[in-house]
Every structure is written in C-alpha cells, then in structure tokens.
A and B are shown apart, each in its own frame.
Chain A
Amino acid sequence: MRAVSPGEPRRVAYLYLLPGLAVFAAFVLVPLLHTGWIALFEWDGVSAGEWVGLDNFTALFTEPELRTAFWHALVLLVFYSVLPVAIGLLLAATMARTRVRGLTAFRTVLFLPQVIALVVVAVMWRMIYAPEGGLINEALRTIGLGALAQNWLGDFNLALPAVGLIATWVMYGLAMVLFTAGVQKIPPSLYDAARVDGAGPVREFLAVTLPGLRGEIALALTLTTIAALRNFDLVYITTGGGPGDATTVPAFEVYDRAFQSGQVGGAAAVGVCLAAVIFALSFAINRFADRGLR
C-alpha cells in the first residue's frame, strides 16, 4: 500500500458514499431499471406478460394519442416555464428599482399559489372556469363583456391554454421569489455604475439584472420544466384529458394505462421516455447556465 498524503483522494472515501448510494439504488435505480424491464412486455398487470421487445417504445412515435400527449407537454412548457420566468423577471426587475412599501406582504401573497396543494388548486380553478356561475365568465358578464365569456375547459382549442394558465398562476410566485432573492445578491455598485453610464431601466435590466440572475433562471427553469413534464393532477382533475384528447399529457397517459386500462408495459415505456426527456432538458438547461458563468 502506497501512503497517501493528506488531502489526496483516497479510495476509502467511496465507502462513505455507500449508504447514500444504497438508498438511491434501492428507491430510484432499481425501480427505474425494473420499469424499463416491464416496458419490454405487453402486460395487463395481472396475468403473465408477453415479451414484445421495443414495441412499446416504437408506439411512442407511431401512436397518435401518445404523440399528441408529448406535444401537449411541450405546449405546457410555455405555460409552466417560459411565462412564469418572464413574469418573475418582470416583477423582480420592478422590485429592484423601486422601493415598494409592504414588499414582504406582496411577496407572500404572490408566493401563496406555490404553497397550496395542486389538487386544491385544480378543484378551485375548475370552479373558476365553470361556464355557468364560474368566476371568470360571471365577471365578464357583469362588466358587460358577456360576449367574451368562454367554454374554458370544454372548448377543444381553449382547454389546453386554460389548463396551462393555472400552471402559470402556480409557478410564477416561485420564479419571483427566486429572482428577488437573486437581485439582492447583485452588488449595488453595478447598478450605480450602470446609472452613471446613463443606462435606462431596460438597459440596466439587460446589462446587470439578467446576467446576475443566470443561476436563478436556470434553477427556475429546471424546477418548472420538471413540474411541467410530470404534470398529472391538474389535467386529471380539471379535464380528465378531454375534450376528446385535447389536454392529455404523458403523465396522465401513464396513470391511465397502468391503473385504468391494463396496459402496464405501455405505461412503463411512456414513463421511461418521460424520465429521459426530463433528464435531457434539465441537463441542457444546466449546461447552458454553467457555460454562461465562465
């Protein structure tokens, strides 16, 4: 045995990782691999499964319902990630420039949607969207804009954006809190310098705030993207994937196939694919953020 000088990496260090790895393996890796294994079968969850190789995975590309579901997930990314991050940035930039009285109270209120269980949020918004007696339509009718009242969750073109807006409402508070915290970390001298150089609010935002928030933006994008792709509860409670298949998403298909219609193998394939997409997107977002830091 060669003596290792202090501070040098030693193999024994891996021993310290073992407990963590064991837990991770037992609850994440093994189930993940097992899911991948089940995805190779046509299995109803009860009787013996039949080996079908990669058929369940090719179905992801050939079955229109599944393609639609993944397409909807991408559309929802706009509502889950892009919009909340944009709104969050706007709010953070405003708060950075002006001294708002009662800022903490505002921040708390804006963050509240994050704290409420999604199931409750969904049930509440279902009532808000109700064509008859729902908050939005009734408000429109009260102010004489009854013509704008919509069949929010029942219209084939509106249902997906309507579900998406709920997510925006839930997520922007998170983005805002991350960004306002981030802004406070940016040295005030940078803002002073920008002002001395004659930068207006827009220039200041682009030159100082935005670069300073790169890490927070990456974090917000990662969190909201993951939430967007595994979105299940909102769809399950508000529309059940309807009307037609206008709001179906991959996570809903996983549930439906595994627990309702006895296609456990197909559900596993969707799940594996979903996990891969989430992994790839999070990886890309973080690579992008890291590169910016250098």
Chain B
Amino acid sequence: MSSVRRPVLAALVLIAVLAAGCGASPGGSDEDTGKQAEEARESSKKIDVAKAGDVTLTVWDQEVRGGQRKQIERLNQGFQERYPNVTIKRVAKSFEDLNTTLKLAVSGDKAPDVVQANQGRPVMGQLVKGGLLRPLDAYADAYGWADRYSKVLLDLNRFSDDAAEFGSGGLYGLSQMGEIVGVFYNRAQVPEPPETFGEFESQLEQAKADGDVPIAFGNLDRFAGIHEFETVQAQFAEPDAVRDFVFAREGATFASPENEQAATTIQDWAQQGYFTPDFNGTGYDPAWQQFTRGKGRFLIAGTWLVADLADAMGDEVGFMLMPSREAGAPPVSLGGESLPFSITSKSRNPDVAAAYIDFLTTADAGQVLAETGNLPAMETDAEPVGALAGEVQEAWLTLNEQEGMIPYLDYATPTFYDEITAEIQRLLAGRTEPGEFTQSVQDGYAKFTEKG
C-alpha cells in the first residue's frame, strides 16, 4: 500500500513548493515611492483634452445616494459633452464596498484612472505608501486648485510621498463636498437655541426633567460615538492639539487633561440619561428617525443627513455648530470633506484625469452641487436650496474662515477606528473611567507612532 501513496505525497509536495514559490514576499518590490512621485510631478501637465484623442476614463466613486448621485451624473455628462472624445466609465459602489475593494483594484493591472480614496491613514495613507496614487501638486499649480479651498481642507488630502507624514506634503486628491458634524435641533422643542456650551447642558437637563429625550443617539453602528465624543472634545481641547494628534505629529497624545475632561463630560451625559435610552443597542438610522418624530430635542450628526431631515421635518429642524464654552468664542467643530478624487499611478491618461477632477471642482460644479442639495466644499457663490441648507452653509463658511474645523479621529492610524469606537462604547456604558479611556486610546495609538 505504501508504494501507491507515494505519487500522492509527491503531488502534495509539488503543490507546496509551487505555492511557496509564487508567493515570494507579498506585495511585490519595494520601489522608491519618492522618486516615482517626483517623476510623476515632472510629467504632469495641463493639456487641451479635446486634442487628446479618444480616451476612456474609468472612475470608481461612491456617490450613490440621492443628491450625490444626481450631481456626479450631471457633471459626468457635462464633461463628456464638452469633450466628446472622452468616455467616462463610471463604477459606482457603496462606501463600504469601495473601501474594501479599492486596494486590490488600484494595485491590479487594470487599475481605474480616477478613484475616491478616503482621507487618512487607513485608505489614502496606505495607497500613497504603496506608490499607487499620483501626486497632484503640478496639476494644482497649473489649474489653481489652491485658490478654491481653504488650507485646512487641502491639508486633509496631503501626505508625504512615503506616507510617513499626514496633513502635509504632496496633494493626493480633491474633494467636492464639505461636511460638518453639528447639532440639529427640533424648533418646536427648542425655541431658543443655546448660545454657550453651558446653556446647551442646562437645556439637556431641562429636557430630561420634562421627560423628553435630550439627545437622540444610536451607537449600535459604532461610528456615531466618534461624532458625539469629538463634538464635546472640540469644546475642551485646542483645535491644533486635535489636528496634531490626527496627523501624528511629534509629541501628540490622547491622554491629555482636556480629553479627559471631555470624556468626563460625555460620560456624565450618558449617566444623567441625556441620550436615547439604550443608545448602545440603538441603530444609527432608527436614532435620527426618532429625532424626526420628536423623540429627541437635539441630534448630534453630520450634514449628510440634511436632505433626509428636511424631508421629514420641513422647517421644524434647525442646525447650529456646538456653541463654545465662552460666549462669542470662535466655534470649533468636527468637519471635513467628502472622499477625494485621486488619480492612480497606473492611469494611462493622468492629464485627462486631472482635467476631469478640475471639472468636478470648479465654481460651476459648486453650483451643480448646491442645486442638488449638497454642500460645496470649494469656493462658489452658489445659493443653497432651503432654510436648513442655508444654515449649514453659513456654519461651513464660519468654520472655514475661523479655521475651527477638526478632522475625524479615525484618520489617525489604520486601526484607530476599531479602537476608538470600542473605547467610546465602553466609556458611555460606564465600564471605564475617563482616565482609563484616554490612556487606553493612547496606548493603541502609541503602538502605531512608535513603529514610525
């Protein structure tokens, strides 16, 4: 019997050898991304797209919801009408799908030309590190992109060419829309919006005493916890301290007294019953839907809900930035911009792709964005549609002028989203003390920064 087993064994060994052989080191060669980036910058130029011959641009985006879909469809059509020699092959994906498939797509042989690569180290940082995105600095100079955006917005799309530094260095994408995480309120229940953080807290107390839900909040989907925490954090920590932390600059730490104060405050809110009962078990959508039905005087959420809230509540809903602790102090708020459009290193028509990105971000494009119910991130004199959108736009301009925007914490490290969301759930459930919370978030962060 043993003699007949030998071929089988031999086959298995052969397979093992083959598998190991074709494996080598995964991820291929360790190319000099810095040199590659420099070459890309030198070869970048503004061209007349009409004379570029027949070109097909493959674009991966996640502009699939309501107004987002409308704007990208209109702008894509507009670009193709202006340049009939260009065909845009659009691949639309949901946010999650895009993030999970992007790395494979961009590193493959048939990489798309333009992709939306989410800001921060988890997605854009890793793509830059792998040399898979093209720096856009030369295009930015040629097209004057720096004039369209505030510095803080451009910085969010910047990485050094080796991706060691975030928030400075080369420009790797341009975003179309702005977003702010602010405070929506029910006008019927909140006749006088609070003007200081202290007033906000006393209104929460009043709402609780009246038997209402003060803040509609659902944290089953986890990401909402970041928005609640950072909105409070913004009232205690210096904006630059938060930015330095997210961009992992020298000496930045999460275990600061200010962060601990913020953690204490928000844990206190949870313990006082200022949030929807059982918020850790309530989904994100049910929470804001409860707010539209009057179960919740306030809702701390992003401007991506504007269209849905306005549809459900009409003029009943108002928007404001979380007021500062001192009356009249400049507001600080969590905010940012939509996923940036980037050009892949493997694109055969980077110059056409740059013209496309330019087209998506002109003042005229801003007009299209406003008409379709979006908040334009670029400079534009477009008028917002509807009262709520007007309030949002005003808040956006204030934040940009006063540089009061702080970036999402989960941009900080590739694993930070999991760490901070889990810790916030623990903090709000009263399972950790504020000091333990800041320390254990810092510990996870330090694992990344120490590795360099």
A interface residues (Cβ-Cβ under 8 A, vs B): 9, 11, 14, 21, 25, 29-30, 33-34, 37-38, 41, 43-49, 51, 126, 129-133, 151-156, 159, 239-245, 256, 259-264
Instruction: Find the A residue at minimum CB distance from B425.
Output: A243
CB distance from A148 to the nearest CB of B (A): 14
Binds A, one of B14-22, B179-187, B245-253, B367-375: B14-22
Cβ contacts under 8 Å, B414 to chain A: 44, 261-263
> What number of residue pairs across chains A and B have CB atoms under 8 A from each other?
151
A261 touching B122 by the CB < 8 A rule? Answer: yes
A30 touching B19 by the CB < 8 A rule? Answer: yes
A261 touching B415 by the CB < 8 A rule? Answer: yes
Q: A49-B27, A240-B222 are in contact. Are A151 and B281 (CB under 8 A)?
A: yes
Cβ contacts under 8 Å, A256 to chain B: 418
Interface residues of B in 354-369 (CB under 8 A from A): none
A49 touching B25 by the CB < 8 A rule? Answer: yes
Q: Which of B30, B99, B131, B283 makes the CB contact (< 8 A) with A130?
A: B283
Cβ contacts under 8 Å, B426 to chain A: 156, 243-244
Cβ contacts under 8 Å, B421 to chain A: 242
A45 touching B417 by the CB < 8 A rule? Answer: no
Binds A, one of B4-12, B76-84, B148-156: B4-12
Instruction: Find the A residue at minimum CB distance from B223.
Output: A240
CB distance from B88 to the nearest CB of A (A): 26
Question: In the bound complex, what is the Cα–Cα distance between A156 and B281 (angstroms)?
Answer: 10
CB distance from A58 to the nearest CB of B (A): 16
The proximity string for B residues 371-402 relative to A, scoring 1 for CB distances below 8 Å and 0 otherwise, is 00000000000000000000000000000000
B429 touching A242 by the CB < 8 A rule? Answer: no
Interface residue B132 (Cβ < 8 Å from any Cβ of A): yes
Cβ contacts under 8 Å, A47 to chain B: 27, 30, 126, 129-131
Question: In the bound complex, what is the Cα–Cα distance between A61 and B441 (angstroms)?
Answer: 22
Question: In the bound complex, what is the Cα–Cα distance between A21 and B15 (angstroms)?
Answer: 11
A46 touching B221 by the CB < 8 A rule? Answer: no
Q: A25-B15, A154-B279 are in contact. Are A46 and B103 (CB under 8 A)?
A: yes
Question: In the bound complex, what is the Cα–Cα distance between A273 and B27 (angstroms)?
Answer: 22
B130 touching A41 by the CB < 8 A rule? Answer: no
Q: Which of B29, B107, B276 makes the CB contact (< 8 A) with A46?
A: B107
Instruction: Find the A residue at minimum CB distance from B106.
Output: A46
Q: Which of A46, A130, A132 makes the CB contact (< 8 A) with B27?
A: A46
> Besides A44-B129, A45-B103, 16 other CB < 8 A contacts?
A9-B4, A30-B19, A33-B15, A34-B19, A34-B23, A45-B104, A46-B130, A47-B27, A47-B129, A48-B29, A153-B281, A240-B222, A242-B220, A245-B422, A262-B122, A262-B126
Interface residue B286 (Cβ < 8 Å from any Cβ of A): yes
CB distance from B307 to the nearest CB of A (A): 23
Q: A34-B19, A244-B422 are in contact. Are A261 and B276 (CB under 8 A)?
A: no
Ranked nearest first, the 6 interchain pairs of A and B with the lowest CB-CB distance are A154-B281, A154-B280, A46-B130, A131-B278, A151-B278, A33-B19
Question: In the bound complex, what is the Cα–Cα distance between A260 and B122 (angstroms)?
Answer: 7
Question: In the bound complex, what is the Cα–Cα distance between A157 and B129 (angstroms)?
Answer: 41
B99 touching A260 by the CB < 8 A rule? Answer: yes
Cβ contacts under 8 Å, B282 to chain A: 130-132, 154
Q: A9-B4, A47-B126, A261-B414 are in contact. Are A38 and B26 (CB under 8 A)?
A: yes
Cβ contacts under 8 Å, A132 to chain B: 276-278, 282, 286, 290, 295
Interface residue B37 (Cβ < 8 Å from any Cβ of A): no
Cβ contacts under 8 Å, A259 to chain B: 99-100
A45 touching B281 by the CB < 8 A rule? Answer: no
Cβ contacts under 8 Å, B422 to chain A: 241-245
CB distance from A107 to the nearest CB of B (A): 34
